[in-house]
Amino acid sequence: MTVVPVSLGDRSYEIRIEAGLLAKAGEILRPLLRGRTMAIVTDDHLEFHLATLQASLEAAGVASEAIVLPAGESTKSWPHLETLTDKLLQLGIERSDHIIALGGGVIGDLVGFAASILKRGCNFVQIPTTLLAQVDSSVGGKTAINSRAGKNLVGAFHQPALVLIDPQVLDTLPPREARAGYAEVVKYGLIDDFAFFEWCEANGAALLAGDPAAREYAIAHSVAAKARIVAQDERETTGKRALLNLGHTFGHALEAETGFSDKLLHGEGVAAGMALAFAFSAEQGLCPRQDSERVAAHLRAVGLPDGLKAAGITASGGRLVEHMLHDKKMEAGTLPFLLARGIGQTYLDKTVNLGNIAAFLDAQPR
Ligand code: GLY
């Protein structure tokens, strides 16, 4: 088992990674049981993994109660938050209890937020079941629901007490979702780790084909990078954690243009967004052109979109910038952008001219 610590003072916790961990989770979770029952929150596409987890808990002598919500982004909403908190209260959950979030980013974000407000703050454990959740959203304590005004606008920083990652659960993940999650893996190389980007170039295809060693290495490396960054800037105040949003401002515009639908998954938007951030950096003379071409080539090689055309976007630059202005990353009227001086050299630039962004996007192939 690989154990990655997240060092946050009295909110510190461990990320444990091991193939087959779900079937052993009962033994690990048993010491966390406080009340009579452990609540597991999951979605209706994950009955198979739920059965494995509940069998493991039962074998460890832990009674569990499952709350099964509909799969999909619309579950990250006020109505489902209300239903979920009501059910948790009916189960008699106390502050010292640990609520288990078994699922992808939607379940992790919703359950984390519910845990942050229930009885003014309960413990929760993340058991992420998608590659995206395993390498990004389950770690670092960002929790949220969507509201009428936009995605993730209502939420809290609330760290889990433990993260259990079983790479084997990815065997049942649709290939398109695995690829989308892989964009967040590549992101760590592009932020500040050129050697890891080279590893991705050499091993990304094997990882996506299900190679267990490649998968485990990439997950462990990614969460270690995220843990390091979150430990330095838990609440995204110094600009360090903001680096994790590489590709997200461009990507947000593309996702908004496609109505946050299955036309473009979040990770696909991030992939195209990272390619655009590098291409814009190259156009501005900040980054060697060969680096931006190398990023796009790797994304293409694994079947991820490398720009507007591959993402199926025909909107004008002005319209895409309008979408960016509705993103929550606006700061005192300006939009900070993550740009790059090269692969592994991402930095936050608060002086980007939005007219230049619109003109750059207009010039991109459609
Ligand atoms: N996914 C970005 C962050 O956790 O800060």
Per-residue pLDDT reduced to its tens digit, 259-287: 998 999 999 999 999 999 999 999 999 99
Say if pTM beats, i.e. exceeds, 0.85: yes
Atom of ligand 1 nearest to the CA of 242: 5
Burial of residue 156 (CB within 10 Å: 0-12, 13-18, 19+) is: middle
Question: For this structure, is 248 an active site residue?
Answer: yes
Distance CA 360, CA 36 (A): 59
For range 324-349, the mean pLDDT: 87
Q: What is the mean pLDDT of residues 44-63?
A: 98
Helical segments of 240-353, H only: 248-257, 266-283, 289-301, 317-325
Query: How much is the pLDDT for 351?
Result: 92
Count of beta carbons in the 10 Å neighbourhood of residue 272: 30
226 is known as an active-site residue = yes
- Per the annotation, the verdict on 18 as an active-site residue is no
| Centre of ligand 1 from the C-alpha of residue 58, in Å | 34
The answer regarding whether domain 2-172 maps to CATH 2.40.50.100 reads: no
Mean pLDDT rounded to a whole number for the chain: 96
pLDDT band at 159 (very low <50, low <70, confident <90, very high): very high
Distance CA 304, CA 307 (A): 9
What's the CA-to-centroid distance between 340 and ligand 1, angstroms? 18
3-class DSSP state of 170: helix
Architecture of domain 175-362: Up-down Bundle (1.20)
| Average confidence (pLDDT) over 58-82 | 97
C-alpha to C-alpha distances, 112 to 126, 240, 331, nearest whole angstrom: 8, 23, 25
Domain residue extents for the chain: 2-172, 175-362
Q: Which of 49, 76, 98, 266 is catalytic?
A: 266
Residue 243 Cα to ligand 1 middle (Å): 9
Atom in ligand 1 nearest the alpha carbon of residue 229: 5
* Band of pLDDT at residue 149, cut at 50, 70 and 90: confident
pLDDT band at 68 (very low <50, low <70, confident <90, very high): very high
Residue in 131, 229, 241, 243 to alter for ligand 1 test, most ligand atoms within 8 A of Cβ = 241
Percent of the chain at pLDDT exceeding 90: 94
Asked about 252 being catalytic, the answer comes back as: yes
The answer to whether residue 245 is catalytic is: yes
Q: Point out the ligand 1 atom lying closest to the alpha carbon of residue 230.
A: 5
Structure tokens at 212: 């267990």
User: What pLDDT is recorded for position 326?
Assistant: 83
Residues in the ligand 1 pocket, defined by CB under 6 Å:
136, 140, 142, 241, 244-245
Local confidence band at 332 (pLDDT 50, 70, 90 cut-offs): low
Question: What average pLDDT score do residues 183-192 get?
Answer: 98
User: What is the CA 144 to chain-centroid distance, rounded?
Assistant: 12
CA of 235 relative to ligand 1 center, distance in Å: 10
pLDDT value, residue 328: 66
Q: Does the annotation count 241 as an active-site position?
A: yes
Question: What ligand 1 atom has the least distance to the C-alpha of 142?
Answer: 4
Q: Which of 109, 128, 94, 121 is nearest to 25 (CA)?
A: 128
Mean pLDDT across 134-163: 96
- Give the distance (Å) from ligand 1 centre to CA of residue 298: 23
Query: CA–CA separation, 137 vs 223, rounded Å?
Result: 10
